[in-house]
Structure 1
Amino acid sequence: MARKHYLVTGMSCEHCAASIREEISEVPGVSEVDVNVAAGSVTVDGTDLDDTLLRAAIVEAGYEVAATAAV
């Protein structure tokens, strides 16, 4: 199981979190997505996670990835 953590700018409500969860959930290998609007963070758990696809999913939801950190 792998875990990736992203700092995301522009989130302000639960609708923002739901949009990000929906897009990331479609990425192959994702088993769980945790979005913390207050902290501006997204944590993704799964297998063989593709950083490029995860970042693209966040952008597709309408937000920017400010930073990436391995957790």
Structure 2
Amino acid sequence: MSETIELTVRGMDCAHCVRAVTQAIQAGDPAAQVAVDLASGKVRATTSLPRDRVETAIREEGYDVAA
């Protein structure tokens, strides 16, 4: 079952960042739909992964997930 998770992520500023975050989430859930808004720092993922796994995947790429 998928849910939509919205996070504020600091440190993203280019297309590489978008790709890194997207691929990190999709590594755990290949069917995840990920949208990144660089201007606001918002990441929206519709995924079967629990929120904590999404946050961990993003942090492992070197980005800061706001609480």
Number of equivalent positions: 66
5+ residue gaps, structure 1: none
Q: Under a length normalisation based on structure 2, what TM-score does the superposition of the two structures give? A: 0.85
5+ residue gaps, structure 2: none
Separation in 2 of the partners of 1:46 and 1:65?
A: 17
2:18 is equivalent to residue 23 of structure 1:
no
Higher strand share: 1
Q: Percent identity?
A: 32
Separation in 1 of the partners of 2:24 and 2:47?
A: 15
Root-mean-square deviation (Å):
1.6
Higher helix share: 2
> 2:32 is paired with a residue of what secondary structure?
strand
Query: Are the aligned partners of 1:30 and 1:44 in contact in 2 as well (CA < 8 Å)?
Result: no
